[in-house]
Chains A and B, each alone.
Chain A
Amino acid sequence: MRVQMTVNGTTKEADVEPRLLLVHLIRENLGLTGTHIGCDTTSCGACTVLLDGRPVKSCTVFAVQADGRSVSTVEGLEQGGVLHAVQEGFTKEHGLQCGFCTPGMMMTSVALLERNAAPTELQIRQAISGNLCRCTGYVNIVKAIQYAGTKLRETKAEREPAAAGRA
């Protein structure tokens, strides 16, 4: 089946078997190997991508289901050589050790901060509860997301001082 979708802002086409999982389309057909395959059983969240802006486990979606939709992967976070605030946060706060869960963790974080610019620690921990990290104990991941939230709020305040003032 022919499918067409927007991946990180660019239109991509592929000819796929219906049984092809979205994660395999992303990694093998499109060569975007930043999205990882961990458990392959809908548990670990290493394969998290945004489908129309919502974080989902791409090992549990068929590629044909994404036809006509928008997919965002970790490769799309950096813009023009500048890291996304979430990427910067994971770097500054040492939010990773082995790094395997990191792309999924960051995609979930991006979606969380889009919905809620100033999440509490509990809200952060709930949001990432479908992403497993076996190295960090999550402490630095939470700090990384808090860092990114602060940075995004500051950037927004600089860009729209009036709007921030009203809020």
Chain B
Amino acid sequence: MIPAAFEYEAPTELAQAIERLARSGGEAKVLAGGQSLIPLMKFRLAQPARIIDLNRIAGLAYVRENGDLRIGALTREADLEDSTVIRDRYAIVADTAAVIADPLVRNLATVGGNVAHADPANDHPATLLAVRATVVARGERGERVIAIDDFFVDTFTTSLSPDEIVTEIRIPRAQPQSGGAYIKLERKVGDFAIVGVAAHIQLDEKGNVAAVGIGLTNVGPTALRARRAEDALRGRTPDDKAITAAAEAAADEAQPVADLRGPVEYKRDVVRVLTTRALRRAVMRAKGGQK
């Protein structure tokens, strides 16, 4: 399959890329890992007149923990998986990176692309909702820090301005007695999630839930925050009863549609099951246990 013709440029400075994007009149697309954009172009579902390739811009790929966790937008999923900081301190992010597409795709796919593409089937968005991440974007008017709750507007639609490029993802620093997990059900490696659930828990000194985040993949027009499920758990002891109540709430507030991956009833029940498992694992990790 051959994509439609386009003009290509690969600036070496971010400012240049922003300027070109701003002047394109909405006709340009930004190329990061290309693992979603290029297939769309091959199917001619996307036919941008101009491609602005970010891959020649230095300094956009990094994982740093100074205060909060900062992940450069051009960081490859494979590098997230390999990062010691991610594996040791942000297990929920390691869980997520490891189930995106397949290992070959992860060698090119970027975390910034996964988020900016705003596909409700992508895996990072639910995790970022659960951990209350922020997205840093740069445009002609400078830098903007966007709360993840304000980032996803609709399917394939974000609150980015036409001239803005995602440069960084920020995740609040991992605290003692906190933990998270991401669990995805997929038909086979490389497929999108039937359902994915991200859960993040902060316990207080008594072992009760001080803060909780739950994000859902591929059961709505965007990745969803399961707010009522969070409410069902906050302030409670995270025992089986409380987790069951939260999981039932999550199933109820999910908005799945029937497709080749299953009917609505099935997907709702998968939300319930995976929310239970993700919460249990998050609690175990918050208490210092692995896996």
Contact = CB atoms under 8 A, between A and B. Distances in A.
Interface of A: 1, 17-19, 21, 40-43, 45, 48, 51, 54-57, 60-62, 64-65, 108, 126-127, 129-131
A137 to B, nearest CB: 15
Nearest to A16: B8
Contact of A17 (B5, B31, B189): B5
Contact of B102 (A19, A21, A61, A130): A130
Interface of B: 1-8, 10, 31, 34-35, 38-39, 41-42, 51, 53, 55, 78, 101-105, 107-108, 189-190
Given A21-B42, A42-B38, 11 more contacts: A18-B6, A18-B8, A19-B4, A21-B2, A40-B1, A60-B35, A61-B38, A108-B103, A130-B101, A130-B105, A131-B104
Q: Which of B1, B3, B107 counts the most chain A CB atoms within 10 A?
A: B107
Nearest to A17: B5
A56 B51 contact: no
Nearest to B43: A41
Contact of B104 (A19, A41, A64, A108): A108
Residue of A40, A62, A64 contacting most chain B CB atoms (<10 Å)? A62
A60 B107 contact: no
Nearest to A41: B39
Nearest to B78: A54
Contact of A65 (B1, B34, B103): B34
A105 to B, nearest CB: 11
B108 A61 contact: yes
Contacts of A51: 107
Contacts of A108: 103-104
22 contacts: A18-B6, A19-B3, A19-B4, A19-B5, A19-B41, A21-B38, A42-B35, A45-B104, A51-B107, A54-B78, A55-B107, A56-B104, A57-B104, A60-B34, A60-B38, A60-B105, A65-B53, A108-B103, A108-B104, A129-B102, A130-B189, A131-B104
B103 A127 contact: yes
Contacts of B10: 64-65
Contacts of A19: 2-6, 41
A126 B104 contact: no
B105 A42 contact: yes
Nearest to A1: B8
Max chain A CB contacts within 10 Å: which of B1, B6, B38, B104? B104
